[in-house]
Chain A
Amino acid sequence: MKFLFFGFVLLLFSCGTKPDDSQIKDSENLCKYSKWIRISETKDLVRIEIINPDDPSQVVQLQLPNFKSKKNKSYTYDIENPIQRMAVLSSTHIGMLGELNLIDRIVAVGDLKYVHNLRLKNKGPLELGEEQLISAEKIISSKAQVIIYNGFSNQFPKQELLHKLGIQTIPNYDWREVHPLGRAEWILLFGYLTGNADGAKKKFEEICTNYENIKNRIRSKKSILTLSGNMTGDYWYAPAGESYHAKLFDDAGLSYVFSNEKGTGSLSLSFEKILGITNHVDLWLNPGFQNKTEILKTHPKSRLLKPLKLSSVFCYSHNTNKYWELSACRPDLILLDYAEIKKGSQMDPDKLFFYQRVQ
């Protein structure tokens, strides 16, 4: 079945005149940090390759003209012109388009309830619902030219039908990136699709520079032993030592308690272990709830954790929509928050962008 799907994807995105492959191969992959997207550019052609993290042999290839130069008629493109109407199913996609000032290109979203961008909210795009339960009729009625989805499962529902109708379905695996800048790098996808590649490159460069500057400024400063995660059911789930969050903590110079644990996913630990390990922890990040009452109601024994006693708990959940929308493309702002939190009693709460002290 996987081979059939792979064959279908190749057939769909690679049909037509073959481009000059040697030219593409020689050109550089423009993505420096991302593991799951590759972008190569020549004078006439842009090739975007999106790799499925669960099965790297599955690659979605997109060929589009280099919109900076005239269209070369010897090529067949999957997308002929810059996309004007997009359906996006994740908050991070909205954030990236927002950073490029292209909110007006969004015609449909998953659920308006989770939208932070006021301009988009006021515009009132069509709501498509959950990715797996999505109605093809709604997508068609939105007149979207492409739909960007999360790729939680291998195939987008009704993908074949949508392709027949000329609606491209493009997976976005930004959420599977481990490097914070790799996650932000997906902004380039939106830039190339919409004919704003230069703007996207500039924005990404700006984010990278900010990120590196903040990192260099704060990484060496006094470290704070940090705990992350929360109890879900009987176990405490925390980011593993090689995960996206662990990388952020490391770049912020926070001493993460599980930094030596292998893996890019999450660790599951008993509360007893957490209590034993974290006796000296000073900071608890991302507890999953916006106030102490909720934390204690869901797991009353959390009161035994030292950071909760010291009120040294911070979470982005006071405005979850803002965090989910902007954090992927602005890891520099997360680092800025951590830099402020590291100041301890000297911290200025008004300077926090995503985070807030859990009260």
Chain B
Amino acid sequence: MKGIKSHAILLFSVLAGIFALSIYGLLSGDIPTEFNDVYHALLDYSDQDINQVIIREIRLPRIMMAIISGAALSVAGMLMQTLFQNPLAGPYVLGINSGSSLMVALGVLSGVGFFNSELGLMGSALLGAFVFGLFILFTASFLRNQIGLLLFGVMLGSFVSAIITILEAGSQAEALKSFALWSMGSLNNVTIEQIPIILAVFIVTCFLTFFIVKPLNILILGEEECRLMGYDIKKIRILIVFITALFTGLITAFCGPIAFVGLAVPNLTRMLFKTQNHMLLLIANLLFGSFFLLTCDITIQLFSDVLLIPINALTSLIGAPFVIYILIRKLR
């Protein structure tokens, strides 16, 4: 009971932190704004007031995207780690992001109109993530070693980046510029008009995840137990890959690749909550992931006058040492 209470306090604290950071993010920036501007920008918007425009069109989509991306990538990482029973698994490390990147590169650099549209970009990223997810799932059945799977992901990433380099060499300057900018990763490119679509896909995918919480809990016990409980293990695995692809593809399509969130946050939540209850882990990852990426974003905004840090660089700066720490712990 005491555990549940402390978990609840921790989760509510993080939720409060997200709320506080969001308000701070809406109020702070290069142009001074007041709470009144935030109120009007959210509830009584006028596009003639520059402060309101800045809040509604620039700060609000960026903050919302940080919340959604952090949550989505963290849950995707949690699903990967449970699926492969490997704390080093994550959409970026295993190369699921690479699948999205490859498909987006094929679409953008080919110059075919449909792939350059919003829908085409999202579809490409989702398809790439799903196909690569299935490929990793298939390969994982031959790899018993956890480090081996990680190395496979790294190799897959290198292979894809080689293909992308070849594609870039033969592409037109404009397409190359678009792809290069996308591949930098950014929370700033999403518009307020795109937020409802992103939010809708995110919420639907979250619901799907809640539906597989029970099989996820049983999957931890092993395949045999899962079968004995009457679950079709193959179907569950494919469903997990599909959900991961939805989360990863959605974020990669709109923000470009964002590294290490999906690896660092699920490990952090497992360390903090010391549980295999996926309902708790799912909620924790949603909240901690949002909090983590929002903190990264606010940090970048705070230091933007001194140093320009892309979001991907900051998440890697924090995430990579964390992976090394986990690796050392495992190798011991």
Chain A interface (Cβ < 8 Å from any Cβ of B): 232-235, 268-273, 275-276, 279, 288-290, 294, 297-301, 304, 320
Contact = CB atoms under 8 A, between A and B. Distances in A.
A134 to B, nearest CB: 16
Interface string B148-190: 0000000000000000000000000110011001001010110
Contact of A298 (B177, B191, B300, B310): B177
Contact of B191 (A272, A301, A320): A301
B311 interface: yes
A273 B310 contact: no
Interface in B24-79: 29-31, 50, 53-54, 57-59
B178 A272 contact: no
B181 A276 contact: no
B191 A234 contact: no
Contacts of B188: 234, 271, 301
B30 A270 contact: yes
Given A233-B310, A234-B310, A299-B189, A273 B57 contact: no
A130 B232 CA distance: 56
B85 interface: no
B315 interface: no
Contacts of A269: 30
B308 interface: yes
A301 B174 contact: no
B54 A276 contact: yes
A81 B181 CA distance: 48
Contact of B31 (A276, A288, A298, A300): A276
Contacts of B310: 233-234
B118 to A, nearest CB: 9
Interface string B278-309: 00000000000000000000001100100010
A297 B116 contact: yes
A272 B184 contact: no
A256 B58 CA distance: 24
A298 to B, nearest CB: 6
B58 A275 contact: yes
- Give the contact-size bracket for chain B: 20 to 34
A300 B191 contact: yes
**10 smallest A-B Cβ distances: which pairs?**
A276-B31, A273-B30, A233-B184, A300-B191, A272-B30, A272-B29, A270-B30, A234-B186, A234-B188, A272-B58
B59 A272 contact: yes
A288 B177 contact: yes
A63 B327 CA distance: 61
Interface in B184-213: 184, 186, 188-189, 191, 194
Nearest to A278: B50
Nearest to A293: B116
Nearest to B32: A276
Contacts of A268: 308
B186 A272 contact: no
Contacts of B308: 234-235, 268
A298 B181 contact: yes
A304 B49 CA distance: 12
A289 B176 CA distance: 12
B30 to A, nearest CB: 4
A273 B32 CA distance: 10
29 contacts: A233-B181, A234-B184, A234-B186, A234-B308, A234-B310, A234-B311, A269-B30, A270-B29, A270-B30, A270-B304, A271-B58, A271-B188, A272-B31, A272-B58, A272-B59, A275-B31, A275-B50, A275-B54, A275-B58, A276-B30, A276-B31, A276-B50, A289-B174, A294-B178, A301-B57, A301-B58, A301-B189, A304-B53, A320-B173
Contacts of A233: 181, 184, 186, 310
A275 B59 CA distance: 12
Contacts of A276: 30-31, 50, 54
- Which interface residue of B50, B188, B194 has the most chain A CB atoms within 10 A? B188
A271 to B, nearest CB: 6
- Which interface residue of A234, A299, A320 has the most chain B CB atoms within 10 A? A234
Contacts of A271: 58, 188
A234 to B, nearest CB: 5
Nearest to B183: A233
A192 B29 CA distance: 54
Contacts of A294: 174, 178
Contacts of B301: 270
Contacts of B54: 272, 275-276
A282 to B, nearest CB: 16
Nearest to A291: B174
A297 B254 CA distance: 11
A234 B184 CA distance: 9
Given A234-B308, A270-B304, A279 B50 contact: yes
Nearest to B191: A300
A98 to B, nearest CB: 22
Nearest to B116: A297
Nearest to B301: A270
Nearest to B309: A234
